[in-house]
Amino acid sequence: MDHTDKKNRQFEATFVVIGGGIAGISCVETLKLYTTESVLLISESPTVKVVTDVKFYTKIAAGFNVEDQNLHCFKNTEYIIDKIIAINSTEQTIETLNGREIKYKKLCLCTGAVPKLLADKDYVIGLRDTHSVEYFQKVLGRAKRVLIVGNGGIATDLVHKLNDIEIIWIIRDEHISSHFLDAGAAEFFGNYLNILQTSDKIMKRFRYRGETSSGAALGPDWHCGAMFGNSDRKNVVIEYKTEIKNISKNSLDNDLVKVELENGKIYECDFIVSATGVIPNNTFEIKDGQYFDIANDGGIKVDWKMETNLSNIYAAGDVCTVNWTSKHWFQMRLWTQARQMGMYAAKCMHSMYANEKLLQDFCFELFTHVTSFFGFKVILLGLFNAQGLDKKHCELLVRVTEGQEYVKLVISNGRVVGAMLIGDSDLEEMCENLILNQIDVTNLMDDLLDPNIDIEDYFD
């Protein structure tokens, strides 16, 4: 039910969720499965992100699509389209921009994050939400050269999907996609940088326009097929281990942007794409003199129950930073984790409200992420790049079939602790079991990645 036309009124709900992104909608949908108590969603935009077509590759690792849907189409869902400006954690009330006051018993903040832009200029585009992508596609058709800054998933997707344009890719690292890939995997993808993409992908969902939302991230299929510039060919130039020193407009041709790099090189381009990460969106005021415990990365700290330091206030997704440790799981601000956290926060809120016993969700036993790079399926499990481990005491088992697969196992003290699976290796279930069960594979090293041996036969 829409409450947008009822202003300057008080509302009350047992569970209130703020944010229409993946974490917020996953939290609301899960709460409705757990309880018949009132659940209220507050979103800045009528357009929200809904997870669809979930496919499990292992017990934990899942891939999915994300669709833009309009809140008016949601059945049996109480919602308000408004912006939060203040929270009173003592009285357990929320104030909105349009003068509403909302009382809650349990509150979950799923306000996402905002992009870290290189500069606040119209020729610097931060790809974060549907609206920024629509603007990007509008200006792309006139462009011959674009400069992309960043080395994460969106930057990598963009380099892959752009056609008929020259791309200058600026990264601080020694190889591409360092947030996900090691140097070997980056080399595996090297031959695919300049391959043109087809435009035969059809958009099979509705698009809605609404107010700009500051926190809802793009989904994993944000690019919706190939995108085309205004050049007669595609060419990718990568500038490694450097950053932007200065950005200015060309004095002779004001339509072009002049970019000076730290390595001394100068490029001119039509516009810049800033894909350099995000900042948690936690700008609301706490009215009763309390403060959220904020982590070094700007996220609101949450304990293993997804609860903040303020009683009855939870947080999930990009806005939060976990304040606990797990052996084979760590936080990255990913679509998959936004979904997991939103669902788990709902479980925590309901359990605490109903005084039921709560156990941490199994998904936090193992880091998992399913995505695709350059048309290849990518499954990351556990400490896939030996995160947090002493590299001197790690062993790597690697199998590479050019143009088909790149498989890497990370082994510490004789046990598999992480895996990077690129292509159709069909090893994800085996790797997940080995990591979770911590089986000693010291005597199996020579056979683990032998394609002629079914390693699961060892454990029958």
- As a CATH number, domain 115-277 is 3.50.50.60
3-state secondary structure of 400: strand
Q: Which residue, 121, 173, 168, is CA-closest to 143?
A: 168
Residue 73 has pLDDT above 90, yes or no: no
Identify whether the C-beta of residue 217 lies closer than 8 Å to the C-beta of residue 338: yes
Beta strands in 202-270 (DSSP E): 227-228, 235-239, 244-249, 257-261, 266-269
Q: Which residue has the higher pLDDT, 9 or 310?
A: 310
361-394: per-residue pLDDT in tens? Answer: 999 999 999 999 988 999 999 999 999 888 778 8
Class of domain 11-112+281-354: alpha beta
Tokens of 143: 């462009």
The span from the CA of 18 to the CA of 41, in Å, is 6
- CB burial of 436-449 (b: ≥16 within 10 Å; e: otherwise) equals beeeebeebeeebb
The span from the CA of 53 to the CA of 63, in Å, is 8
Asked, colleague to colleague, whether 11-112+281-354 and 383-458 share their fold, the answer is no
Q: Which helix H or strand E contains 186, and what residues bound it?
A: helix 183-189
The span from the CA of 391 to the CA of 458, in Å, is 28
Residue 16 has pLDDT above 50, yes or no: yes
Quick one: what percent of the chain has pLDDT higher than 70? 89
Q: Residues 6 or more apart from 334 whose CB is under 8 A from it?
A: 153, 369
Other C-beta atoms lying within 10 Å of the C-beta of residue 257: 22
Class of domain 383-458: alpha beta
Task: Write down the pLDDT at residue 391.
Answer: 78
What's the pTM? 0.88
Domain range annotation of the chain = 11-112+281-354, 115-277, 383-458
Phi first, then psi, for residue 134 (nearest 5°) are -65, -40
Tokens of 133: 């992508």
DSSP state of 182: -
18-31: per-residue pLDDT in tens? Answer: 999 999 999 999 99
Instruction: For residue 368, count CB atoms less than 10 angstroms from its CB and return exposed for 0-12, middle for 13-18, buried for 19 or more.
Output: buried
Average pLDDT, the chain: 87
Task: Write down the pLDDT at residue 190.
Answer: 86
Task: Write down the pLDDT at residue 456.
Answer: 64
3-state secondary structure of 334: coil
Please name every residue paired with 249 in a beta bridge, in sequence order, or none if there are none.
Answer: 257
CA torsion sign, 109 to 115 to 119 to 121?
negative
**CA quadruple 141, 144, 147, 150: dihedral, nearest 10:** 50
Least confident of 5-14, 180-189, 340-349: 5-14
Identify whether the C-beta of residue 319 lies closer than 8 Å to the C-beta of residue 334: no
- Model confidence at 40, pLDDT cuts 50, 70, 90, reads very high
CA of 93: how far to CAs of 60, 105, 287, 379, in Å? 36, 9, 10, 42
